[in-house]
Chain A
Amino acid sequence: MSGDQRAAHREKGDAHNKNDVRPLYLGEGNSDCQGILQDETDMSEITIQPDGRVYVFGASRQVLELLESLSPTDQKLQRVLGRIRKHQPVELKR
């Protein structure tokens, strides 16, 4: 990414800041979303390995609920979901 492009990113980010505090994401230089502001709030990054292992980075509540529907045995997932239900029972989509 050139210095000019980076400056343009900054300007877009700062302009966005004035009106909206929702999360934004400045696209990577080598991606299709270069220069486009994106809301990453509900974005989780999921990688599935050939051996079946599933990696989730930046898990949102919706993704956790989706994973739960697959009835995994992962203990941490169960505990996190338990915590969500305890604190936000109304918002859970069951």
Chain B
Amino acid sequence: MKQRWASRERLERARSHYRGCELCEHRCAADRLAGQRGPCSAGVATRVFRHRVEYGEEVELVPSHLFYLSGCDLRCVFCIAGLNAFDPSRGRELTSDFFNAAVEWGKEQGARNIQWVGGEPTIHLPAILEVMSQCPSLPPVVWKSDFHFTPEALELLDGAVDVYVADFKFGNDQCARKLAGIDNYTRIIQRNLIAAANQSRLIVRHLLLPRHMDCCYRPIVNWMRDNLPQTPFSLRDGYLPSWRAKHFGDLAKPLEPGAARQAMDIARDSRLAVIQ
């Protein structure tokens, strides 16, 4: 069955980013077809380095069949996926044959949806739309993203995604620059959160970072309270030092005891729609 959103025009518009990529806000305009590479290093091949049915996601989503794609537009020093996320050459190529068979396998395992994760799926948006458009029985689609995408990318996803899961990582631009290597973070993610909430169901996720309560967590809660108070807010307290976190003093250790409870109290005092 052809997906209603999968028009030829849309798929061609998505593919045009391979000639001048503006899928994320780096807006590198790389001609990926000609071998140029932007900050994400991605070419035109999309690769799955892991796929499995998981139960650790938000309760309303599980069991969820996660497709982990290699390659990312950010370089978060604490990334739990590390090299698998940053090296887009890892994994097996995403093809329609593989995807269709994998979807059926996931259904057999009881998955209620498929979930695109990374790395960052947005940099592979053309290939993802392509395989989804050719899937005969596509389950509900969850798009787990860093939300550093452009409005053009979000427009391409309109109608193709049932639930957005946004990683709201940092509460200020300084931490975003230092820990993920990007500029204008708050302006971009706040714009995208508002737009996504108007387009589809949105869950905002925040991974508590050790000793970033005042600089990151409180500003995020305050912004959510003022702008998206009804949007489900998923507080994740499972931070563990990964990748290069050991080189960043505050991030070299797990979350301090008591921080998760304190954060939960702050969110509830602000009347956020906290979910688990």
Contacts and interface: CB of A to CB of B under 8 A. Distances in A.
Contact of A21 (B47, B102, B238): B102
B91 A26 contact: yes
Most chain A Cβ neighbours within 10 Å, of B54, B92, B101, B109: B92
A21 B105 contact: yes
Contacts of B93: 10, 13-14, 17
Contacts of B257: 51, 53
Interface in B69-95: 80, 83-84, 87, 89-93, 95
Contact of A17 (B53, B98, B238): B98
A41 B52 CA distance: 5
A57 B98 contact: no
B254 A49 contact: yes
Contacts of A40: 50, 52
A88 interface: yes
Contact of B110 (A28, A79, A87): A87
B276 interface: yes
B51 A23 contact: yes
Contacts of A24: 50, 92
A26 B90 contact: yes
Contacts of B83: 28-29
A59 B56 contact: yes
Contacts of B121: none
Interface string B112-156: 100000000000000000000000000000000000000000000
Interface in B240-260: 240, 254, 257
Interface in A76-94: 76, 79-80, 83-84, 87-88, 91
A23 B52 contact: yes
Given A57-B56, A87-B112, A13 B92 contact: yes
Given A9-B90, A13-B92, A17-B98, A58 B110 contact: no
A13 to B, nearest CB: 4
Given A25-B49, A28-B83, A75-B276, A61 B90 contact: no
A16 B52 contact: no
Nearest to B109: A41
Nearest to B99: A21
Contact of B55 (A17, A26, A51, A61): A61
Given A60-B55, A61-B63, A80-B62, A55 B89 contact: no
Contact of B276 (A47, A64, A79): A79
Nearest to B101: A21
A66 interface: no
Contacts of A91: 110
B92 A14 contact: yes
- Counting from the closest, the 8 A-B pairs by CB-CB distance are A13-B92, A21-B101, A59-B56, A76-B276, A17-B92, A21-B102, A23-B52, A59-B55
Interface of B: 47, 49-56, 59, 62-63, 80, 83-84, 87, 89-93, 95, 98, 101-102, 105, 109-110, 112, 238, 240, 254, 257, 276
Given A41-B52, A55-B238, A76-B276, 18 more contacts: A6-B90, A10-B89, A13-B47, A25-B49, A26-B90, A28-B83, A28-B84, A40-B50, A43-B52, A49-B254, A53-B257, A55-B254, A57-B80, A57-B238, A58-B54, A60-B53, A84-B63, A87-B63
